[in-house]
Structure 1
Amino acid sequence: MAARGSAAREVLQTLLVALVLALAIRAFVVESFVVDGVSMEPVLHDGERLLVDKLTYRWRAPRRFDVVVFRYPLDPSRDFVKRVIGLPGETVEIREGRVYVDGRPLAEPYVAERAPDFYPPVTVPPGHVFVLGDNRPHSDDSRSGWTVPIRDIIGRAWFVYWPPAEIGLVPHPQGP
Structure 2
Amino acid sequence: MSEENKNVADALNDIFEDDPAKKERDKEIAKYEKKRQKAIDKEQKKAAKKAAKEAKEAEKKNADDEQENKEKSSWSWDKAVAESSADAKAETADKSEEASQKETSEEAAGAAKSESSDKTAEAVNTDSSEEVYNEDGELDEKALKKQLRKEKKEAKKKEKAEKEVNIVKDLIFLCIYIIIVIGICWAVLTFVGQRTEVSGESMSNTLHSGDTLWIDKLEYEFGSPKRFDVVVFPYGDDDETFFIKRIIGLPGETVYIDEDGVIYINDEPLEGDVYGREAIASDKRGVAAEEITLGDDEYFVLGDNRNNSRDSRVEDVGNIHKKDIIGRAVFRFTGGFGKIE
Give the TM-score normalised by structure 2: 0.48
> Structure 1: 5+ residue runs without aligned partners?
172-176
* Higher RCO (C-alpha under 8 Å, 6+ residues apart): 1
Distance 2:333 2:177 in 1: 27
The reply on whether 1:53 has 2:203 as its aligned counterpart is no
Matched AA of 2:247: V
> 1:49-128 maps to which residues of 2 (within 5 A)?
49-73=212-236, 75-95=238-258, 96-106=260-270, 107-117=272-282, 118=285, 119-128=289-298
Distance 2:309 2:218 in 1: 27
> 1:141-156 maps to which residues of 2 (within 5 A)?
141-145=311-315, 146-156=318-328
- The count of residues paired between Structure 1 and Structure 2 equals 169
Distance 1:90 1:72 in 2: 23
Report the CA distance between 1:4 and its aligned residue: 0.8
Contact 1:97/1:114, CA 8 A, preserved across alignment: yes
Distance 2:221 2:182 in 1: 24
Provide Cα deviations, 1:50-73, integer angstroms capped at 9, x if missing partner: 000001101111111100001122
Structure 1: 4+ residue segments shifted above 4 A: none
- Higher helix content, 1 or 2: 2
User: Larger C-alpha radius of gyration, 1 or 2?
Assistant: 2
Distance 1:13 1:98 in 2: 59
Corresponding residue SS for 1:19: helix
RMSD (CA atoms) = 1.2
Over the matched positions of the two proteins, sequence identity in percent amounts to 37
Corresponding residue SS for 2:252: coil
Corresponding residue SS for 2:238: coil
Matched AA of 2:175: L
- Higher strand content, 1 or 2: 1
Distance 1:81 1:147 in 2: 13
> Structure 2: 5+ residue runs without aligned partners?
1-163
Give the TM-score normalised by structure 1: 0.91
Corresponding residue SS for 1:25: helix
Distance 1:26 1:88 in 2: 29
Report the CA distance between 1:124 and its aligned residue: 1.0
Report the CA distance between 1:142 and its aligned residue: 0.3
Matched AA of 1:103: D
Distance 1:88 1:167 in 2: 32
The reply on whether 1:15 has 2:15 as its aligned counterpart is no
